[in-house]
A and B are shown apart, each in its own frame.
Chain A
Amino acid sequence: MSERYGIEIKNLRKEFGSKVAVNDISLNIKEGQLFSMLGVNGAGKTTTIKMLMGLSKPTAGDALIMGNSILTDLPKVKQISNFSPQETSVAPNLTVRENLDFFARIYGYDKKKADELAEDMIEKFTLQEVEKSKAKTLSGGWQRRLSIAMALISSPKVLFLDEPTLGLDVLARRELWRVIEKLKGKMTIVLTTHYMEEAEHLSDEIAIMVGGEIKALGTLEEIKKLTGKDNLEDAFISIAEE
């Protein structure tokens, strides 16, 4: 039986003037997998996921999101995917519930359904104690949790998490890991991170990007075996410094 892919990337390339940010990368991500992209700053991770979400037009190549081309079926791609960026990205003067409701509405749900979905997210992410608070008054950890809940309210088939735990304290990070773990298998997730232990803990498969190219791709065990190292951090360093 052939495998179903959530994302199929075909020779994707992005140039900014003379600089090649993403250099003809190709890979397939199985449906329901949590796929991590690792790389130092400027490796091309964020540019790659921006192209996959239709935020940036590829210079060459294409990608299919659940079979829909980012070049020719972009409205469909936007409808079935969602995104939680690395920076704070909530409407600051709206309450937690209003933020959730707003996102459900712009993804096309009617008011009744949007209210139901907001209620569901508040419950799933245990946001009850802050649901009436304005988003700007929340701590970094709560804002990230809200940000991910906003990304999930549209029931995406593909979810992009761009450094979701950046700047969080260790407790908030672990809490968010538990949230992300619960999502595994329910949708295809692409995670970018600088934290090796995060990728180790959460990923089904890992890609290591260096200078816009994928230098290693596989499960944690495969990458460790490839480099002869016994942890991901050492494996990452040996690949990045090659």
Chain B
Amino acid sequence: MRSIEFSKRTTREILRDPLSYIFCLGFPIIMLIIMTVVDRSIPKEAQMNIFKIHALAPGMAVFGLTFVMLFTCIQLSKDRTTAFLTRLYASPMRSVDFIIGYTLPSVVLALIQVMITYICSFIIAAIVGGDLKLFNMLFSVVCLLPSVLLYIGFGLLFGALLNDKAAPGVCSIVITLSCMIGGIWMDVDGMGGGIKSLSHCLPFYHGVQAVRMAVSGDMRRVTKPLIITLLYATVIYILAVVLMRGKMKKDVR
């Protein structure tokens, strides 16, 4: 019950910050529209599919998660730098209540954001033409869950380690990495070389690929990137939880 009450409080804190709407909801939708316009101006001969709605919608869903990471991180680091958490440490709340209380609102926020991004994608597909199948889109939400865990894990990790001044800067590095070598905006496979190798070593590319394959209905090829993302997500989240617990003890030393 305490974890639910703490989740409600975290949700309110996030939702009452206008920046949450601008970045978590507004920004991905605006980028979806802009990239669709960009796609219209790219000649067909270029054979560039990354901005087609079936590739853009999953990319944008993952892009939105990077902002969920940012807000999870800012919320935790802000709480840590005020005396608010200290007084909660003196209450009967246990560390598991804190972990659930920060994770649950971010999961809900991420899923709402994905739903809104997908609804907008359906509208865009209906206007400009595009083949988005409802079943594939719903299945892709399941394939997105490891990425949800991964980005929330990063948010908790940076929030536990950094103060509220440093945390957004470090998060922006992960946002950039996701966008570029994660293949959201860039055709990493088409580039090859070191960039391709690097992107294949990190989880972001696999997270985007799993969702793109699900949206395209390429179910046979979903498994590998899905498992890789899930493994990364599990490691990062567990690391975040361990560090968070350690930091909590250290904060009140």
Chain A residues engaging chain B, CB cutoff 8 angstroms: 16, 50, 53-56, 75, 78-79, 81-94, 98, 102-103, 105-108, 134, 150-151
Contact = CB atoms under 8 A, between A and B. Distances in A.
Contact of B82 (A55, A87, A105, A151): A87
Among A75, A89, A108, find the residue whose CB has the most chain B CB atoms closer than 10 A.
A89
A105 B5 contact: yes
Given A93-B16, A102-B9, A88 B88 contact: no
B82 A106 contact: no
Interface of B: 1-2, 5-6, 8-9, 12-13, 16-17, 82-84, 86-93, 97, 252-253
Given A91-B9, A91-B84, A94-B9, A106 B16 contact: no
B93 A106 contact: yes
Given A54-B90, A93-B12, A93-B17, A105 B83 contact: no
Contact of A75 (B5, B83, B92): B92
Classify the interface of chain B: helix, strand, loop or mixed.
Answer: helix
A16 B90 CA distance: 20
14 contacts: A55-B89, A55-B252, A75-B92, A78-B90, A78-B91, A83-B87, A87-B82, A87-B83, A88-B82, A89-B82, A90-B84, A102-B5, A106-B2, A107-B91
A198 B8 CA distance: 38
Contacts of A150: 87
Contacts of B93: 106
A89 B87 contact: yes
Given A83-B90, A93-B12, A105 B252 contact: no
Contacts of B97: 106
A85 B91 CA distance: 13
Given A87-B83, A89-B83, A94-B9, A108 B17 contact: no
Nearest to B88: A106
B9 A50 contact: no
